[in-house]
Structure 1
């Protein structure tokens, strides 16, 4: 089975502390698996930890979370080398690709070296659900605000651009996120930008925003556009469904 059409789940969430384990997959990742159409067998999830440097200790926690969920979890490590010469074929064997957080600037640079973007685009078109948190959300868009370069946020614009929008993550938990996004949209550095509070996610079918969802009881999602007559940013909240 595969998703009915190209699907992306871009989030500021997806993990939670476990009861007996360090980590569990939260509702946003479960939702991505549901959207993949993987039923009647163990879903196959590919975890990509490039943004945090492919840390093996974290991957052990992700593997444990996968066993707890009843899924098969594979790790796409690019340090020190990819697992295969055929990245497109390897990625395409999975139901979901979930990209972790960290440095989106470093992630994009390493992915470009290995042409992982091309492999991910092929998988997306073939029905593999793409998703992720923070850096793993921004990467699918034109760009967004990041602390990849230091504590002062900067805007990157060299995202994969599968989705023709900007992306704002951790919108309610980091004070500089909102004003940085607003300034980037007002100046035209970012196009229309879609933002998530912690715990929220955005589901895209093709390149169209289909739904905003959240694994928490609070927090929302927003669209920021530039008012062409005044040159000012305009923010509108989205209706959001609690998972």
Structure 2
């Protein structure tokens, strides 16, 4: 059962330290599943491309999904697609969850396999697209990344389903905020939407409708706009999600 409008949940969170395994699904991931409107047990396509499809992590995600009450359906692209029909696999799911890692490598591999076009069709069909870090930036026009090395650099050729820039780990990595400000001020990135760790942004179509968080404290979301050649930052209110 698809969501009632194209939906994206872009986060700096989603998993948490597990109790009976290494991972448990956190409130942000549960919220993405809830937004899908899945009737019965939801099916979540897990994409670990940005980390090279690490099988151990996939196995932990599958186990965590079982404990959380949804089915995780991995799609690996290394060393080859793990399913015969990538489009059918993705469109059969209620949610796509994309892990963190190298957003630059992710984009190159997705495009080589035509997954960029598949994900656009899925989004238009009501499959909720979601993810963390690289799995957040990918839906936007671009953002800040360490894909090229330890020094943060811009990426500006992401999928562009959302016509904004994206800043992740805004409070936990000191270089992220000032680089976002420089890129927006210079016009390298358009208006940028940014998340502290534990915060997610919910979009219906291309409209930001809510900022939510899975942590207590001061974690927040931000919009950074260009005004008179400089970056101006606005802090957004966030709603605390219930514990999963």
Which TM-score applies when normalising by structure 1?
0.97
Task: Indicate the residue corresponding to 1:239 in structure 2.
Answer: 237
**Which residue number corresponds to residue 191 of structure 1?**
190
2:23 counterpart residue number:
23
- Shift of residue 137 of structure 1? 0.1
Gaps of 5+ in 2: none
Q: Deviations over 1:191-240 (max 9, x none)?
A: 0000000000000000000100000112000000000x2x1100000111
Q: Say whether the 8 Å CA contact 1:51–1:106 is kept in structure 2.
A: yes
Tell me the alpha carbon deviations over residues 48-68 of structure 1, each in whole angstroms, 9 at most, x when there is no partner: 000000000111110110111
Structure 2 contact 75–83 (Cα < 8 Å) conserved: no
Indicate the residue corresponding to 2:89 in structure 1.
90
Distance 2:197 2:125 in 1: 29
- Number of equivalences: 240
The 2-side partners of 1:92 and 1:139 are apart by 18
Segments of structure 1 that go 5 or more residues without pairing to the other structure are none
Report the Cα offset of residue 90 of structure 1.
1.4
Q: Distance in 1 between matches of 2:83 and 2:24?
A: 28
Which residue does 2:209 correspond to in 1? Answer: 210
Residue aligning to 1:162 = 161
What is the CA–CA distance in structure 2 between the aligned matches of 1:90 and 1:63, rounded to whole Å?
16
**What's the counterpart of residue 106 of structure 2?**
107
Q: Deviations over 1:98-141 (max 9, x none)?
A: 00000001000101100101000001111100000000000000
Q: Which range moved further: 78-87 or 212-221?
A: 78-87
Q: Distance in 2 between matches of 1:83 and 1:191?
A: 36
Partner of 1:35: 35
> Hey, what's the Cα distance between the residues in 2 that align with 1:13 and 1:179?
21
Match of 1:221 in 2: 221
Output the CA distance in 1 between the equivalents of 2:53 and 2:12.
20
Q: Decide whether the 8 Å contact of 1:88 with 1:118 is kept in 2.
A: no
Q: Could you tell me which residue of structure 1 aligns to residue 80 of structure 2?
A: 81
Deviating beyond 3 angstroms after TM superposition, the runs of 4 or more aligned structure 1 residues are none
Q: How far, CA to CA, are the matches of 1:28 and 1:150 in structure 2? A: 28
Question: What is the alpha-carbon distance in structure 1 between the residues aligned to residue 82 and residue 154 of structure 2?
Answer: 31
1:57 and 1:120 map into 2 onto residues whose CA distance is 25
Secondary structure in 2 matching 1:183: helix
TM-score w.r.t. the length of structure 2 is 0.97
